[in-house]
Structure 1
Amino acid sequence: MGKILRSYLFWTYERGSFHYDVMVTLILAFIFLTPHFWNYGDHPQQEKLAAGNVLVKIAGPGSYVYEIPAAAVHQDQAPLDGQLQQEIQSVSGAVVLDRYLAVKESRGKITAYRVWAHR
Structure 2
Amino acid sequence: MASLGRVLSKTFFWSYERGTWPYDAAVILILVFVLLTPRDWFRDQPQGGGPAAPGQVQLLFKEGNRQTYRVDAHILAPPTKLALQNDLHTALQEAQSELRNGNFSISKIEPLRDEQGTVTAYQVEIRH
Which bracket does the TM-score occupy, shorter chain normalised?
0.5 to 0.7
* Alignment TM-score, normalising by the size of structure 2: 0.49
Evaluate the alpha carbon distance shift between residue 76 and residue 64 of structure 1 in structure 2; reply closer, same or farther with a 3 A threshold.
closer
In structure 1, C-alpha distance between the alignment counterparts of 2:78 and 2:111, rounded to whole Å: 12
1:111 aligns with 2:111: no
Report matched runs for 1:70-81 at 5 Å.
70-75=73-78, 79-81=83-85
Quick one: which of 46, 59, 64 aligns to 1:61? 64
User: Does the alignment pair 1:97 with 2:100?
Assistant: no
Offset at 1:76? 5.9
Deviation at 1:62, TM superposition (A): 1.4
Q: Which runs of 4+ in 1 moved over 3 A?
A: none
What's the secondary structure of 1:79's corresponding residue? helix
| 2:90 equivalent to 1:86 | yes
Please list every run of 5 or more consecutive structure 2 residues that lacks an aligned counterpart in the other structure: 1-51
**1:64 corresponds to which letter in structure 2?**
Q
Deviations 1:92-111 (A, max 9, x none): 23211001011001110111
Q: Output the CA distance in 2 between the equivalents of 1:88 and 1:117.
A: 10
Change (3 A) 1:76 1:55: closer
Change over 3 Å in CA distance of 1:68–1:61 after alignment to 2: same
Alpha-carbon distance change, 76 to 63 in structure 1, aligned in 2, over 3 angstroms: closer
Task: State the number of aligned residues.
Answer: 69
Give 1:27's aligned residue: none
Taking structure 1 as the reference length, the TM-score comes to: 0.52
- Provide the alpha-carbon RMSD of the alignment: 1.9
Unaligned runs of 5+ in 1: 1-50
Write the distance in 1 (CA, Å) between the matches of 2:91 and 2:79. 16
- Per the alignment, in what secondary structure is the counterpart of residue 68 of structure 2? strand
